[in-house]
């Protein structure tokens, strides 16, 4: 398939993705107002639709490997594009993200995100947010589910090295919950910026969990090693050797 045709297909896919978000948002708003379960159902429906439509519009299939957690754990994924957000949320029953506070003002994403229990964090106030999260968990105020935190804090392109932020280690120490690292090669096909989406198979792999009890430095070293090693392997599987 020519690059120009794939670009046009990518443009169509991107446009319908936002139309679908609006449609799903409208359809599930009554259920979301009635119950947080309704918001969760709407988000899961959107995740399934995008994975399905990506397969036939742009030829990008997706695969989940490993065992998605269903208990109270922290989940620490590699973040490369919007697709990995949808893949990880759709794979778990009650995911909830730590996300940038500005996103709570975004139409549909913000309202549904808050309804499913996502935790907005202001830039520069992460330490304060961590203390509040720990207090909420210990007091039983936090919505149950799998807490998703991106340890590098932002999308990182395949082959690019970026530091792992200590906030994940602080939560690991304070919450005393297992952490499930997650690797991906999504960015090989769906880059951080631009219209173009490439055909292939994007893989999202849940890795063996890291149990509580390590000191923070040891935990961070292991987390980075596990995610980066597995993501490099998946990148090579997708034909990326950068």
Q: At what angle do helices 167-175 and 126-139 cross, to 10 degrees?
A: 20
Min mean pLDDT across 64-68, 137-141, 183-187, 200-204 is at 137-141
| Residue 135 pLDDT > 70 | no
Residue range 42-52, pLDDT digits in tens: 999 999 999 99
Q: What is the pLDDT of residue 170?
A: 87
At a CB cut-off of 8 Å and minimum separation 6, what does 6 contact?
A: 58, 196, 197, 198, 199
pLDDT, residue 51, reads: 95
| pLDDT tens readout for residues 140-174 | 556 678 999 999 988 999 989 999 988 899 889 88
Return the pLDDT at 201: 95
pLDDT exceeding 70 applies to what percent of the chain?
90
pLDDT bucket at 119, cuts 50 / 70 / 90? confident
In this prediction, residue 103 has a pLDDT band, given cuts at 50, 70 and 90, of: confident
């Amino acid at each position: 398939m020519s690059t120009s045709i794939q670009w046009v297909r990518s443009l169509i896919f991107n446009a319908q993705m936002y139309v679908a978000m609006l449609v799903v948002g409208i359809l599930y708003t009554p259920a979301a107002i009635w119950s947080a379960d309704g918001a969760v159902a709407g988000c899961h429906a959107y995740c399934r639709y995008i994975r399905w439509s990506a397969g036939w519009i742009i030829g990008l299939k997706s695969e989940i490997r490993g065992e998605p957690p269903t208990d109270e754990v922290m989940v620490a994924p590699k973040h490369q594009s919007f697709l990995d957000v949808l893949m990880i949320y759709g794979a778990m029953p009650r995911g909830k993200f730590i996300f940038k506070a500005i996103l709570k003002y975004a139409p549909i994403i913000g309202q549904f995100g808050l309804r499913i229990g996502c935790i907005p964090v202001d830039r520069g106030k992460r330490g304060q947010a961590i203390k509040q999260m720990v207090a909420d968990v210990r007091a039983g105020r936090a919505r149950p589910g799998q807490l998703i935190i991106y340890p590098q804090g932002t999308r990182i392109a395949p082959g690019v090295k970026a530091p792992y932020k200590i906030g994940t280690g602080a939560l690991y120490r304070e919450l005393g919950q297992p952490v499930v690292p997650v690797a991906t090669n999504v960015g090989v096909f769906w880059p951080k910026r631009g219209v173009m989406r490439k055909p292939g198979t994007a893989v999202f792999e849940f890795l063996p969990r890291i149990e509580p009890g390590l000191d923070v430095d040891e935990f961070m070293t292991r987390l980075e090693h596990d995610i980066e090693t597995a993501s490099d392997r998946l990148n090579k599987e997708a034909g990326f050797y950068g």
